[in-house]
Structure 1
């Protein structure tokens, strides 16, 4: 280890930044945020720095650098684009035993400014000792995705009650177990749910009890999105990496499931049209049993838990049995698949509303009347409709939808094997049979569906207007 890691308390201490440009502004801002008394020195200052000087947020030396500027300083940052000047600043600082940092010059620097992940009071610093600062930034981006934003409030809570925790758990091992409980148990979960008062009360109750804290289980209903791993939310990723048990649907892609913690128990509880079927009651029992054993359970559902995902039923069941439950939304198939097919679900010239429908379930579309089905300026996004295309097309035409209304079937949306079958309301059933469309597939009906012919950017496009022409494979771009 060439550098000695050090977190410096600069509150109220004078520091100097030499330079008046954008880099100097960035360094001065970080030092101000740390509570330092910042002085900047340069012949000229960029507009924001000049405003800070006028408003008294920073002090200033106007003119060329002079060694006298260093008197009384604890730190100095050389942030100019003049290498000889930066070297002179560093040399003068060394003579006075003042730590100096020279921006983008590790050899001249006596301290380095790391890439920082801020979850105050938790701060994670990443340094490459000047070897590759750009890679330190990329590593910081990884940590930003992994470290929950509720960690800051959790640590602040632990800090506020540290004396009570130490008094209650004098034994080091017992205290370590308590902090593990803080992280794994209901306190952290309540903070993620923006319930700080309840979280604090749970902590205080635990400190009052005589026995060891009881590890309570929990369930998170997590949306896996449409299958593309890059569309998983940060919170979903964090919970997957903390889960003891993952109960997943068959529509959850292998790539998304691979993001779960390596030693997590993964159980397939999927349902699929025409395929194997796991009763919803069995899924309920599994969630409850694992949670009561003190495990962290993720119920991982394709798309969004609350959009045709039976998440409402599962939450009601868990709540009725006193199990802590949170919901992490996912990108639902209608939004994601349409986007990957180049179809805007709304468009000010063609569609002012969206209707999300399922072709399965209680009554399916039977309760919908002319106002919904016959509205030409409303986009219909229909889930699980492949097996009922003939019936759907006939019913929509009967409700005054033009037979030439553009339509698109998006098969395996967002996945490498995505296909978009473009046609009209009249021709789509025959097209689906001709091209052997299979589930999972989303049906989009409305004027906006015509955009797939021009703007589809991912996967394969099959267009009835190009009869006799082989389907074209479009360039696939990875979505981060």
Structure 2
């Protein structure tokens, strides 16, 4: 791509409008949209609307915005610092822009790029912080899509944090050496304990943390987030998880967490894989605990990224205990656990009025001991059972449950890689579940859901468990015939 293709045809800038007049011409939705956008600012809005539509008129009255009900005349633009022509009449909008240009006032005509001295951006407002997204008029819908993504990424408390930072600017310039030290100070101010306190709406704690940060010239205490990465699909990550990933100095992640989610972290964050895949643990749990404590003692802000939810078979209890003992601050960021993702893929009601009022999470290994857990009787009475990591012990699971009295024809749903693009959905009955152990086509994490409520799932996109057995038998016969 040539340099000229990479250049913008517009120069992004912010106009000073506080206490100044901005005029909006029009009666309907287009004028209403521009006026609402301007309401994010301290501009003095004047609406030129001869006969505003009911919703617009009601909003103008509720906002106390000056409204001039008259036909357009060129002298009406005088005194404005900016003009919006949004009448819905292309010729009239062009006339309004021409009148504004004659007075050297920048103007914008809706949907007429040639009559726009500037374009209105899609705006993310965290006053005094603002993010404006423009496409030079080519793709307003695209700008709105980008705005939605950025809006999710930015904490709602960002504006209050920026206001607090303004109060500390002079002190930081006096007490913190210019250069690297000052950059570290502000980075920790905006992403450390100060930011956490502001997000919790605790202004006193925020100021105490800011004062402590000043006194140590940028040396902050470490903090660990135990974050649920969800079942694998990037867009199922929570907004809070996205935010802390962008704030972390280091990301400690399990093997089941997709690389695309790890990559959502800050570009310069240290990335540490700790494995934790079946039969192939690159680090023991004790080593992981020690790593988290050590990173915290170094003053780093660390995301401990776990598949699913950290509190559901995520060994979070041991990590929290180690952090508490070491005096390292930590926080839990929940994630969507695989059982919920699997149920969503199957459109499967985990609870169903009159059929299943209880939901049990377990691992297949819980069903392989000598004694069936107490909840075995609940399964017989209709509870839905979500079995994590169930494929390798499927025969034992089925045998023990049928032995407890659960019907062999009880419906089961099986899913590999829940929520992901490469997911595989299977369905059948409890007596067919042992066949899972012999399958060599299920390499990813497998969730098994068992119970009467499973019969209410949508099986249009899933394959019968019996189909694989039939396929294998056919292949054997074909091989024998060669």
TM-score (norm. length: structure 1): 0.85
Q: How does 1:28-427 map to 2 (within 5 A)?
A: 28-55=35-62, 57-169=64-176, 171=178, 174-192=181-199, 195-207=202-214, 209=215, 211-276=216-281, 278-348=283-353, 350-360=355-365, 366-369=372-375, 372-376=378-382, 378-427=383-432
Query: What stretches of structure 2 of length at least 5 have no aligned partner?
Result: 1-7, 473-482
- Indicate conservation of the 8 Å contact 2:226/2:333, yes or no: yes
Q: How far 1:182 moved relative to its partner?
A: 1.0
Larger displacement relative to structure 2 (34-43 or 161-170): 161-170
Q: How far apart are the structure 2 equivalents of 1:122 and 1:360?
A: 51
Q: How far apart are the structure 2 equivalents of 1:436 and 1:96?
A: 72
Q: Which of residues 454, 462, 465 in structure 1 aligns to 2:464? A: 462
Distance 1:190 1:107, change over 3 A: same
Partner of 1:449: 454
- Indicate conservation of the 8 Å contact 1:236/1:328, yes or no: yes
Query: What stretches of structure 1 of length at least 5 have no aligned partner?
Result: 471-480
- Indicate conservation of the 8 Å contact 2:227/2:332, yes or no: yes
Residues 127-173 of structure 1: CA deviation (Å, up to 9, x unaligned): 33334444433443443344344432321211233333344347466
Partner of 1:477: none
Q: How far 1:406 moved relative to its partner?
A: 0.6
* Residue aligned with 1:464, SS: helix
* Residue aligned with 2:308, SS: coil
Q: How far apart are the structure 1 equivalents of 2:163 and 2:317?
A: 33
Distance 1:46 1:316, change over 3 A: farther
Q: How far 1:19 moved relative to its partner?
A: 0.8
Q: Which has the higher helix share?
A: 2
Q: How far 1:306 moved relative to its partner?
A: 1.0
Partner of 1:22: 29
Q: How far apart are the structure 1 equivalents of 2:203 and 2:398?
A: 52
Partner of 1:476: none
Partner of 2:479: none
Distance 1:108 1:337, change over 3 A: same
- Indicate conservation of the 8 Å contact 1:223/1:303, yes or no: yes
TM-score (norm. length: structure 2): 0.85
- Indicate conservation of the 8 Å contact 2:227/2:306, yes or no: yes
Distance 1:434 1:385, change over 3 A: closer
Q: How far 1:183 moved relative to its partner?
A: 2.6
Distance 1:220 1:82, change over 3 A: same
Q: How far apart are the structure 1 equivalents of 2:323 and 2:295?
A: 12
Q: How far apart are the structure 1 equivalents of 2:180 and 2:438?
A: 65
Q: How far apart are the structure 1 equivalents of 2:366 and 2:325?
A: 24
- The size of the alignment, in residue pairs, is 464
